A and B are shown apart, each in its own frame.
Chain A
Amino acid sequence: MMSLGYLSKGVSLDELIDTCIDSFDADGNLCKNYQLLTVILTMHRLIISSSEILRKLIDLYKGALENNSLLCCKICYLVRYWIREFWIMFKTDTNLTNTMEEFQELVKANGEELHCRLIDTSQINARDWSRKITQRIKSNSSKKRKVSLLFDHLEPEELSDHLTYLEFKSFRRISFPDYQNYIINGCVKDNPTMERSITLCNGISQWVQLMVLNRPTPQLRAEVFIKFIHVAQKLHQLQNFNTLMAVIGGLCHSSISRLKETSSHVPHDIHKIFNEMTELLSSGRNYDNYRRAYNECSNFKIPILGVHLKDLISLYEAMPDYLEDKRVNMHKLYSLYNHVNELIQLQEIGPPLEANKDLVHLLTLSLDLYYTEDEIYELSYAREPRSHRAAPLTPCKPPVVADWASGIAPKPDPKIISKHVQRMVDSVFKNYDHDQNGYISQEEFEKIAASFPFSFCIMDKDREGLISRDEITAYFMRASSIYSKLGLGFAHNFQETTYLKPTFCDNCAGFLWGVIKQGYRCKDCGMNCHKQCKDLVVFECKRRPKMTTVDNSPTSALASSLCPMGLKEHMHGLEEGGYPFPNGEVVEHNEGSKDRTIMLMGASAQKISVRLKPSVVHKGIQTDIMMALGNEVSNLQRESGTSSESSFLQPSPMFPCPSPLLARKKAYVKWENKDCSQKVKEDPQTLKPTYQELEKERNVLTAENEALKLRLKQAHKKIEFLSIQRNHILDTREHGDCL
């Protein structure tokens, strides 16, 4: 802290300007103590605009033209110094530029060639005025070593290093004027560098929360939680307090801290570390703990920007601009200068780490999140619902209106996201396209996608099991645009639905429990969700494009089980008109019409498909097929008399089943839809059953259905068990590979 001496009582503006001019000697050399000059030139905007200062200098120059050439000279040296050291002001402040031109003309008119040269601003453009921006922190990309882009494989150290790299990159771009603007405006309006830094910080907090909430079970969530605690420890070691705050802030957030089950899976020592961290970053005694730790650190460190910005605002507010008799409060300018300068000085020391470009790209895209607080809460409630004693979502907490958050969440820039996606995709292909054929495998894609909190998104793919660059780009663009809501509509066309196949909620990723009417399904995009998630869905409804060809490759059934969408596309050839994607494996409860579709998916990937059409007969092929189908089944059942399994063993004369498996496998019947439709088209007007007949058949089928459902439930359990087992094995194997 420099001593203010006589200045502490305040000085008038004119005295200040005189002091500045006197900082230069006749040859333009700076005198020893020019700190005041620097403070005035940097901080004057808090009390007076730059152009006003220049105008005062012009007036002084004019007055001195007659008899004081030394003063004129000194003024020009001062202006030159100003231009040289703070050229950015002349780039950004138009008023100042205009006043400067005025000054230049005045000097030119008076014919002092030396003076003209001194105050020349034409060289500013030639300067590398974005010097800082072009300076790069070394990030190694040349090394042959391929990196894993999977979140689960990333070591806490890698994560913390790369987060620090990103943090420092944005921190060092914040210039002196940016801090000043922030002080004056009290917000980040027209302050893109500051905005970027804050957005990054918030992005990290949200990402931390989402990565935890993205996991389906408390155990898995606890694992991510623990991982982030380790990341926090590394960040602390790196003295990157800003990111540390973001990570711990994310973990402290009540959307995470309310997860009691998750917390119960976190071991005691991790809790202890976590508590130490929160204590370190606690706001208690005005962040006393943090301030002490921060001041003890030397070399590279990144401060908690928010705390220091708060200090700046507090100082600015607490101290008056002027003391008695309109004297400038120099103490205020000095203390603000010192605070800002301290932050600026930190930008000179780079972080002691090496960054991998590909990982940087991955993280950059991961952090492009624009969730609202409420959406994160909804996810949290979906993961671990509130306890029973508390009513779920009391009416005093109404659903979100996105506008409320508009003051907090910045609007994402599609261009930036697109750039981040491109870079990320490049990195993915560099590391995963082993044979350089422009495709990566489905398996690897899924693993990469799991590193992001958009795992629900469904991939449209053209080549089985392989994913092209365009597809992966489209996927990430879509996924992040869904998250960032780039003006896409979200109106889903939900309908209560009975799923006959284990289905998970696309909103919260939880299982859709129950026997009938387990959830809701969007007729347009096929999204499935819980009743309680229906209104909370924050994802775009994307009407999928019509399929032109029917995929009947032998692997399609298998693919369908991986990707539930495939199944419906498989069915698409059947129907024309109406909505483009008829439900395949589901029963829809549509109050408007009485037709029902039942499709069963057995463990052997064979389907039973029955569609009933009780009374109303619509025109068109679709109805006729279904009519005929229903009738056929009813005939079968009448023949056998009961609803015993044998009824399904009767090969139908009209629709011979193409699968030879069928005769052997009891209880599973596969209707090859394509064949059916062809048959029916040949003979559309065969049988017209009465309402009573159909009613009866329906009853019989319902009973049949119940029996099958029981079996199905058992199958579901087995599938779940097996998939958990599979994941477990995959995880351990990958882990082994990685190590």
Chain B
Amino acid sequence: MGLLSKKNKEALNTPLFKENPVTVQVLGICSALAVTSKLEPAIVMGLSVTIIVAMANVIISLIRNTIPMRIRIIVQLVVVATLVTLVSEILKAFAYDVSVQLSVYIGLIITNCILMGRLEAFAMQNKPWPSFLDGIGNGVGYAMILVIVALFREFFGTGALLNIQIIPESFYEAGYMNNGLMLMTPAAFILIACIVWYQRAKDKSLQEK
């Protein structure tokens, strides 16, 4: 089983929890917070980032020996920008509503630190296949946090999930109210803080002194 040897499995698994890009490596926070007021854009964003990280990792890993060290940042940026442009055009063509909701944040995937971070730290030193797995792992780890945050924000903020009403009408008649604050920016920060809190309470090795 050469495809999923122990080392490759690690490349795929560690970014999910132990090295999660958002809560542990503190990468890609900007977009993680901005697109999470609804579940649908969060899923689309997570998916886009996963695809882009994986593809960029593979491309950079393939040409890693030919890139001069001094201009590697520019080369990386160009590869990423090209992929982001492609994804953005595809979204505009097939999922216009979501692309409007995501607005500038799709373009901001270019400056998403997860990409540059993984390209620098992993793809520049590894073969294409492990790089691909590392990209998928980090993308999924990122998407996971996005989905968790969006789940809470949409559920408590609007009483719906994926635009389908979950909390029944009778609750509202009995005096239940949506928490509008959940849709605002502060809730996103505080929810991420709670996730970090939970994760670090479980895994003491992540705690800062």
A, B bound = no
